[in-house]
Chain A
């Protein structure tokens, strides 16, 4: 009863707040489940009792069976769960954790679109990872922090939570918490001093509420590095035509090529269609990295920071070399195989956005990749006909969610403002 009162209170109190409504709904469904379980258990006891004592006429017996059946169907519980008390308790715990998780995701989403997470409050995560472009940027090279520009293509964030290795050179292979830290603090990305970020968040009432609800206490930089990854776990592909076995005839032909003649599956393997390993496919350099001083400065600073020697004279992206620093240079120009999912939303392609369309990408591989002394041995001319190339593209396109899953995040209208702490002298910081 107490719970029901709480839900009603919530509904009245937070009439306008959508997330609060969701919260109330979840709690309501929890109560419904609880009632159903209770009712059913009592019914079972009565039902078995009646059966043994044969006090009940057959009509009542049958109708009670129907009620029981309806209860089962409605709740979607298995009978085992209904009969064990501990199981229902466990479910309640899971529900509770779900609420915390939902709050964490809600928090992460708000942070993702908040420009105040960058040093000069001018760019948010969502500026380079735009929902309308599959959480990438529509340009070949990412914009980067104001005052300079980035030298690589912004990768999609869809399914990023399923990866085990991040960034085109694969320099982070721990977890998304670390990736978020890097994105926030690097001077060419968001240039944020996280100590300042933390104090900014403490000055926004929405964050005070969201952090508390997510079980993170007061706003903190570690909380941010938990919440944003939590939001990223939501950005997952929906079932595509390939998953649903709904490939067109052309796509089916493409699939055959993909796993056969074209040899794509040598690297694009696994559920995300990537082996997550570095390969040199000879992708041509995007010359604007070197011709635009705003990009070149970032490139130089990055290589300087990564300990690459002769960084002033570099005329190519070193790729995984910044990580492995092989003396013979055999790791130069290697980039982590990207996932092939959601490709229809994420053009242009490659680590430097050098190809505008999938046709260009397929034609590039058909020619045997680019020229490079360290070219991966798997890369060789494929001899695909025009028709075959088209088929391959059709298959690649079938690996994207049929409906743009990022759509619901487009035009996120969030209000961001700082509030003044009144009577500041009397408050604790």
Chain B
């Protein structure tokens, strides 16, 4: 009787183990080729819209003092992001998070590190208006567009309005961004059946990615991001120890995003997705970024604390600690998925090699020459005004 009981327990344990294996194998969407760019029904992409969006992307007049365009922080030559740890920011400020690449941004359902925007259109608008980003205001930006004849004409062609509408500027920029995609990486070719597209080392890295290293738990699907929020242990930005402007911005964000007095006084690390829900379980969590095009977008993480992909792999291998032993300021919410991986040097090399397969050739663009302002009225038209 006792023996039978033992057998049952053993059987049960084995069953659970098998089931678990099955679950973990099917739990995460596999890496797949990147499909067609999603397109919202209320902002159809057209060639004219893309052309207009391209101009606007590079135009600092969509901002406060005419100095800061989308391309100021998303520099095409630099991986369509900013090469510093924290993004450039509006003159007189420094931004507080790392600028993300625009490449493949069109595939995200939520934009920004804490998922603050739900569409590219909304993201462009928020970035152009934030005090430490573009610092623009709707009325002035719209008036500026109206005084640039080429824009007037193009907005009319694309959107049918007599005068440019600022919200359509975000629509055009979003349409342009939907062209900034990379779908022909070694990984895509491999997934499409070209077995020679990855090296043996990379294939070994893929196995680690999907197995021992556990990357697939979050970096899955076509985008290599589950778009969920995690606290993986990234330590607070070191800029806050060394840069007064960074200290200003950090406090400003806490204040502007509606923290209570207690939290405003004592918060010393980016609360991330907590700002969205104000639920303590969200502290220090950030949306999983895509691994596509990362080859060109160093440094890494929401605050650029990790300088290169080797550091990133070491960080995960150490269970979410940097080489100096630093980790998140919110240990309570640190993801249970993050634990020491026990990768050896060879495995790390394989993983690194595989990460490179997520990026194709560097994408650059010829910067457009921007149309100029022109007076709306002639001298005679003005002189003839009867008062």
Contact = CB atoms under 8 A, between A and B. Distances in A.
A265 B77 CA distance: 66
Given A287-B382, A293-B375, A418 B91 contact: no
A191 B245 CA distance: 18
B65 A147 contact: yes
A191 B248 contact: no
B65 A119 contact: yes
A420 B238 CA distance: 13
A296 B139 contact: no
A287 B65 contact: no
Contact of B135 (A120, A297, A333): A120
Contact of B251 (A202, A301, A305): A202
A312 B251 CA distance: 40
A200 B66 contact: no
Interface string A128-149: 0000000000000000011110
B376 to A, nearest CB: 6
A418 B92 CA distance: 11
Contacts of A291: 375, 377, 379, 382
A373 B146 CA distance: 30
A43 interface: no
Interface in B77-120: 90-93
Contacts of B140: 148, 187-188, 297-298, 301
B267 interface: yes
B385 A316 contact: yes
A102 interface: no
A412 interface: no
Nearest to A422: B241
Q: Which of A116, A196, A296, A312 has the most CB of B within 10 A?
A: A196
B266 interface: yes
Nearest to A418: B244
A249 B376 CA distance: 51
Contact of B64 (A119, A302, A305): A119
B139 A305 contact: yes
B221 to A, nearest CB: 37
B163 A312 contact: yes
A119 B376 contact: no
A420 B244 CA distance: 5
Contacts of B373: 293-294, 297
B387 A122 contact: no
Given A120-B67, A297-B143, A429-B254, A290 B91 contact: no
Interface string A299-327: 01110110000001001100000000000
A371 B146 CA distance: 30
B243 interface: yes
Contacts of A316: 385, 387
B183 to A, nearest CB: 38
Contacts of A198: 255
Interface in B239-289: 240-245, 247-249, 251-252, 254-256, 264-268
B252 A199 contact: yes
B146 to A, nearest CB: 6
Contact of A428 (B163, B244, B266, B379): B266
A72 B143 CA distance: 68
Contact of A119 (B135, B139, B241, B382): B135
A282 B385 CA distance: 13
A147 B266 contact: no
The 8 closest A-B CB pairs, nearest first, are: A121-B92, A147-B66, A293-B373, A193-B131, A147-B65, A187-B137, A120-B91, A418-B244
10 contacts: A147-B60, A191-B65, A199-B251, A290-B376, A293-B147, A301-B137, A312-B146, A371-B387, A429-B251, A429-B267
Given A293-B373, A421-B244, 14 more contacts: A120-B92, A147-B64, A147-B65, A187-B137, A187-B139, A195-B256, A202-B251, A290-B377, A292-B375, A298-B143, A305-B139, A420-B242, A429-B266, A429-B267
